[in-house]
Structure 1
Amino acid sequence: MSDLLTKATAAKEARTALASSTTDEKNDALERIAVQLAVDETSILEANSLDLEEGQRQGMSESLQDRLRLTSDRLKEMSSALRELKQLADPIGEEMTTWKRPNGLSIQQVRVPIGVIGMVYEARPNVTIDASSLCLKTGNAVLLRGSSTAIHSNRALVKSIQTALKASALPEGAVQLLEDTSRETAAKMFKLNSHLDVLIPRGSAALIQAVLEQSTVPVLETGAGNCHVFIDSSAQKDMAIAIAVNAKTQRPSVCNAAETLLVHKDWSANYLKALLDDLTANGVEIRGDASIVSFYEEAIPAEEDDWATEYNDLIVTVKMVSDVQEAIAHINTYGTTHSEAIVSETTEHVTSFFQEVDAAALYHNASTRFTDGFEFGFGAEIGISTQKLHARGPMGLLALTSSKYLIEGTGQIKG
């Protein structure tokens, strides 16, 4: 039997035991994983160093290295997230609604696990912990398929998870890592309807598109992040600059970082230079429209492709707009329906922005960097959905559940 079928079968077999596990048993397993990460810190970081060294030899960009890199602090953050997840309510078994029919049938809808989740992701070893912990808390088994660039890190992390599960009441097979990272095996995984209930891709636009095009297993689509900050005419100078710079520079390699700034022409007349100077001082390359290039000598002309690009780097496109409607039109043309922000003191403009911009998360006077499961209080996230069916935005516990109907009768038959 192939590695894929072996691991997928083990996950499928673990599904039944997981579905009947108690909240205390699941929380105990999460605590054991948090402890095990600390115990195994040295071996995990050594494995991660192997991936980083190989990435550097292959010319991996600094932004991708940042996504790949594990540190002692990042491992501690993972353990903290596991413990926060423990404190959240267990959604499984929740009564969603109940009613009684005229014929006497009592119908109850309850929340249940989806079953077996297939997780497909790139050079983000933190996803190994996020996906595993969320799946365990919701009684789902998970088959992880990371990329070759993080294989040593993922092996070490899954080894820690499975060591912790051995000492818990949950089945060790609940978390599986597909170590064959070839495209051929991935293509087979995408069609493994007999074992997987859903696929969740998390990574580049190319990865997500490949899964959508090739998969016969239902896909929970996550999206790339071409995010915008619109600075309205009434925006407070210091607030607008702080939000724009934070959204671009706080961690430019992630999907909720801003890639384009839209600046109202009236605000620009007084404050644009201060904004661009601050971005430049933070090492950001400015690519602007004709108005920006003629105003700011350090800016270079933006090409058409720039407006649709997720840089994941210290590069930003800047466009001057005449009103909120022009900003909305630009975002709906080039955005990826991820996260968009407006900085404004004009209620009517904020209302229009919230009603007309198509995105999973919309911000007023705040950075786009908060679109995150941890920041939303979900403990962690398995991805950020930009689709509109089942789940949208940061996907926490509820996104990994389905429902079933329980019907109680007293002997009713249909005539």
Structure 2
Amino acid sequence: MGVREEVIALAQRAKVAAVQLATLSTEVKNKALQAMAQALREKAPEILEANAKDMEAGQAQGLSRALLDRLLLNEKRIEEMAQGLEALVSLPDPVGEITSMWTRPNGLKIGRMRVPLGVIGIIYEARPNVTVDAAGLCLKTGNAVILRGGSEAINSNRAITRIISAAAAASGIPEGAIQLVDTTDREAVHVMLRLNEYIDVLIPRGGAGLIRTVVENATVPVIETGVGNCHVYVDAEADLEMAEKIVINAKTQRPGVCNAMETLLVHKDIAPAFLPVIAEKLRDLGVELRGCEYTRALVPFAKEATEEDWATEYLDLILAVKVVNDLEEAIEHIGKYGTKHSEAIVTNNYLKAWEFLQRVDAAAVYVNASTRFTDGFQYGFGAEIGISTQKLHARGPMGPEQLTTFKYIVFGSGQIRQ
């Protein structure tokens, strides 16, 4: 069987499973999620053994430090994956929820009911935790899922999918609900992009190249998750101790993720006091600084920032730094180079905070907090399937509600249209 035939067969099984999933009880779905979490814990040694193979291959291929960090699994990360599944159990089941109901003058009662999207295809890169997050969220929301991870994580994804799909099936979830495209052949992705007959929506998660490929070539509808060129602006009226903590966290807590800060903007009035101090602390943490002319005058060890630096999502311990004249320049810079993901201001000025919130166009905008909070778990959604930076269907962290659509339900008593 060729790659195309294999993918179509997966999609056909998923379509059948989706019909059954759509009407499964919350009790059955939650039981499966708990079983999947427990299986991850019990089979952790198998997962770690498979991940070790991927890490060894990734190092041999010369993967970047950021990509290797995304690829790495350890006991703590497996436990976090299990906890993400358990968090879904405690969340309301959106499927079947009546979000509104009204009565027309002719007596028709019209309502909106949440329903699953159907079959969701997830195309992602070297993050095996996405395998669990996506499977859990799709199951909770009654969707079948077809997973196509990156070749870098093929062994990890095979082990994880085998373990969680077996646990789900033993709990009453139909076969075909959670499937992995078990090939590294890129032809599989191109087949998925055009399977409108079987796949209802595609969600790409990864770098700019992957997302662009999916968006430009898919005929299946796409929910676009975004590249994260995120900024923190430290205002003239910022608490500098607070700003220091936020900047260090936003850049260094986990630099290889989409909600990490990539550019620091600093108001000129506090730059002489703030920049030399924060620059030394960032350098001690291994961060390479690339700054504007004013920044380099205050921080001699900073490299010169180019136009490309302002637009780059480094996903690494590299930070662009620019001194700006005022809030207006900071907002303009974000508008020009930002990717509508996560942006933050540090200020004690209430009016400036609100102006920033209102004018910055991004999925998540923060006042006096790190951009690192932009994810479903931190927002109380449980695991999330990605951060949408588009504006249609979903925006920001996509939790259970964002993986449903709705249908109208209409109750009559014999009405006919004249």
Q: Over residues 186-232 of structure 1, what are the superposed CA-to-partner deviations in whole Å (9 max), with x where a residue is unaligned?
A: 11110000000000000001100000000000000000000000000
Name 1:239's counterpart in structure 2.
242
Name 2:278's counterpart in structure 1.
275
CA–CA separation in structure 1 for the residues paired with 2:397 and 2:96: 22
AA of the residue aligned to 2:112? Q
Contact residue 51 and residue 72 of structure 2 kept, 8 A: yes
CA–CA separation in structure 2 for the residues paired with 1:272 and 1:146: 40
Superposed, 1:348-363 pairs within 5 Å as 348-363=351-366
Q: 2:340 matched to 1:337? A: yes
Which of 229, 232, 252 does residue 229 from structure 1 map onto? 232
Name 2:219's counterpart in structure 1.
216
CA–CA separation in structure 2 for the residues paired with 1:44 and 1:247: 30
Which of 51, 54, 57 does residue 57 from structure 2 map onto? 54
Which of 110, 114, 119 does residue 111 from structure 1 map onto? 114
SS at match of 1:172: coil
Q: 2:138 matched to 1:141? A: no
Post-superposition offset of 1:181: 2.8
CA–CA separation in structure 1 for the residues paired with 2:412 and 2:239: 63
Name 1:150's counterpart in structure 2.
153
Which of 272, 292, 295 does residue 295 from structure 2 map onto? 292
Which of 112, 132, 145 does residue 129 from structure 1 map onto? 132
Q: 2:268 matched to 1:265? A: yes
CA–CA separation in structure 2 for the residues paired with 1:184 and 1:176: 17
AA of the residue aligned to 1:52? M
AA of the residue aligned to 1:236? D
Contact residue 224 and residue 336 of structure 1 kept, 8 A: yes
Q: Number of matched residues?
A: 415
Post-superposition offset of 1:269: 2.5
Post-superposition offset of 1:233: 0.3
CA–CA separation in structure 1 for the residues paired with 2:78 and 2:272: 46
Q: 2:47 matched to 1:37? A: no
Decide whether aligned partners of structure 1 residues 136 and 116 sit closer, same or farther in structure 2, where only a CA change above 3 A counts: same
Post-superposition offset of 1:31: 0.5
Post-superposition offset of 1:40: 1.2
AA of the residue aligned to 2:186? R
Name 2:188's counterpart in structure 1.
185
SS at match of 2:270: helix
Post-superposition offset of 1:271: 2.2
CA–CA separation in structure 1 for the residues paired with 2:347 and 2:195: 49
Name 1:10's counterpart in structure 2.
13
CA–CA separation in structure 2 for the residues paired with 1:296 and 1:106: 67
CA–CA separation in structure 2 for the residues paired with 1:323 and 1:9: 56
In percent, how many aligned pairs have the same letter? 56
Q: 2:257 matched to 1:254? A: yes
AA of the residue aligned to 1:84? A
Query: Which has the larger displacement, 190-199 or 100-109?
Result: 100-109
Q: Which runs of 5+ in 1 are unaligned?
A: none
Which of 377, 399, 406 does residue 396 from structure 1 map onto? 399
SS at match of 2:269: helix
Contact residue 3 and residue 180 of structure 1 kept, 8 A: no
Which of 88, 95, 100 does residue 85 from structure 1 map onto? 88
Contact residue 272 and residue 298 of structure 2 kept, 8 A: no
Superposed, 1:284-323 pairs within 5 Å as 284-323=287-326
Post-superposition offset of 1:272: 1.8
Post-superposition offset of 1:297: 1.1
Q: Over residues 362-397 of structure 1, what are the superposed CA-to-partner deviations in whole Å (9 max), with x where a residue is unaligned?
A: 111110000010000111100000001111000000
AA of the residue aligned to 1:44? I
AA of the residue aligned to 1:375? Q
AA of the residue aligned to 1:324? L
Q: 2:356 matched to 1:380? A: no
Q: Over residues 23-67 of structure 1, what are the superposed CA-to-partner deviations in whole Å (9 max), with x where a residue is unaligned?
A: 000000000101111121111111111111110110011111110
Q: 2:103 matched to 1:100? A: yes
The TM-score normalised by the length of structure 1 is 0.99
Post-superposition offset of 1:107: 1.2
AA of the residue aligned to 2:256? S
CA–CA separation in structure 1 for the residues paired with 2:168 and 2:351: 53
Post-superposition offset of 1:99: 1.2
Q: Which runs of 4+ in 1 moved over 4 A?
A: none
Query: Which has the larger displacement, 271-280 or 224-233?
Result: 271-280
SS at match of 2:176: helix
SS at match of 1:406: strand
CA–CA separation in structure 2 for the residues paired with 1:3 and 1:293: 55
AA of the residue aligned to 2:147? L
CA–CA separation in structure 2 for the residues paired with 1:80 and 1:354: 32
CA–CA separation in structure 1 for the residues paired with 2:300 and 2:152: 39
Q: Over residues 84-135 of structure 1, what are the superposed CA-to-partner deviations in whole Å (9 max), with x where a residue is unaligned?
A: 1100011111111111122222212111101000100000000000000000
The TM-score normalised by the length of structure 2 is 0.98
Post-superposition offset of 1:296: 1.4
Contact residue 120 and residue 146 of structure 2 kept, 8 A: yes
Query: Which has the larger displacement, 276-285 or 100-109?
Result: 100-109
Post-superposition offset of 1:411: 1.9
AA of the residue aligned to 1:332? G
Which of 65, 69, 75 does residue 66 from structure 1 map onto? 69
Which of 25, 28, 33 does residue 25 from structure 1 map onto? 28
SS at match of 1:83: helix
